[in-house]
Structure 1
């Protein structure tokens, strides 16, 4: 089993809820399956540049020459994703959506002919075999019953983009309200750890 671990929080581990949760998810799998092969990509310490035609993965039909090093890195990101069985993504909500570092990674894995294709019946996702687990943190409360539900563009975006490439049931562990004081932060983390313990391996 190959597991890819991604983080996109600009905070260090000891102050980041999404990093704490994503690390706990990875540890959950490593304890259950010691032979798991782990790939690690920190999208903040090693950020990908914003997308251009010259740094698209070489497999992308619109990829253009001009920046071979960045093209090769983009292709490596795509290949790494395609080789993974499980992908764990640390995704904090920043300004109502995902961090730009995570968006840059997503831009590398949405590639026609590799992760999706168009046909007579519309779009077909080609990454159906992937298991995606998202560690999602939010400073306030954005559930359907809250006044801010329509401002939630992190979970909804990730579900949309993953569904586009065939991953229609990502597992999402949410810790929210973490900006509402230390007690709520601790409660959110405790709930997340309980959800991690219940993950099948």
Structure 2
């Protein structure tokens, strides 16, 4: 039996968010494929640790036991990490960035002991990660902006094995903008089923 940790990050709320809907649909298929796995889902909007950005006032206490270490332990105890993230102003949501800032700790999730040409060593090699992202614009409209690439590569940096992301793009343009959120999510159903089988 494997343990999956899932992260909601959209500020739109569960009822209105396409990215959260994408995660929910993925979980539906996942539970059919792996019915005995343990699943824990965190809504980052509801966590203090994800709603307080790093600044000069909290820098010395930012990586506390309550707001940092316990979430690092959750990641270390999990086998799989499922993340959904919409594009917000060409980047990931602030809650998800705050979460990542909290868990990127040298000596705990990566090492400064350089390996080869100045590369660090990721310490979260227990994790397999599936990234689910959405964006209003079609893929490729803004070559300089890719929240998907950032998420894929930050988890690779931390040592995780990262599967091909599922990207639901163009949600604000035709034809997807004529569909309900559920219909939009269902356009990715076959891709979801394929990735679920690989999420071992």
- What TM-score results when the alignment is normalised by the length of structure 1? 0.82
Q: CA deviation at 1:115?
A: 1.4
Q: CA deviation at 1:87?
A: 0.8
Q: What's 1:148 paired with?
A: 142
Equivalent of 2:120 in 123, 129, 135: 123
Q: Which runs of 5+ in 2 are unaligned?
A: none
Could you list the per-position Cα deviations for residues 56-111 of structure 1 after superposition, in whole angstroms to 9, with x for gaps in the alignment?
334xxxxxxxxxxxx42321111111111111111100000001100011012211
Q: What's 1:138 paired with?
A: 135
Q: CA deviation at 1:120?
A: 4.0
Q: Are 1:175 and 2:159 an aligned pair?
A: no
Secondary structure class of the residue paired with 2:192? helix
Q: What's 1:103 paired with?
A: 97
Q: What's 1:189 paired with?
A: 185
Q: What's 1:82 paired with?
A: 76
Q: CA deviation at 1:6?
A: 0.5
Q: CA deviation at 1:185?
A: 6.7
Q: Which runs of 5+ in 1 are unaligned?
A: 59-70
Aligned residues: 185
- What TM-score results when the alignment is normalised by the length of structure 2? 0.83
Q: CA deviation at 1:188?
A: 4.8
Contact 1:92 1:138 in 2 (8 A): yes
CA distance in 2, matches of 1:57, 1:83: 19
Alpha-carbon RMSD: 2.1
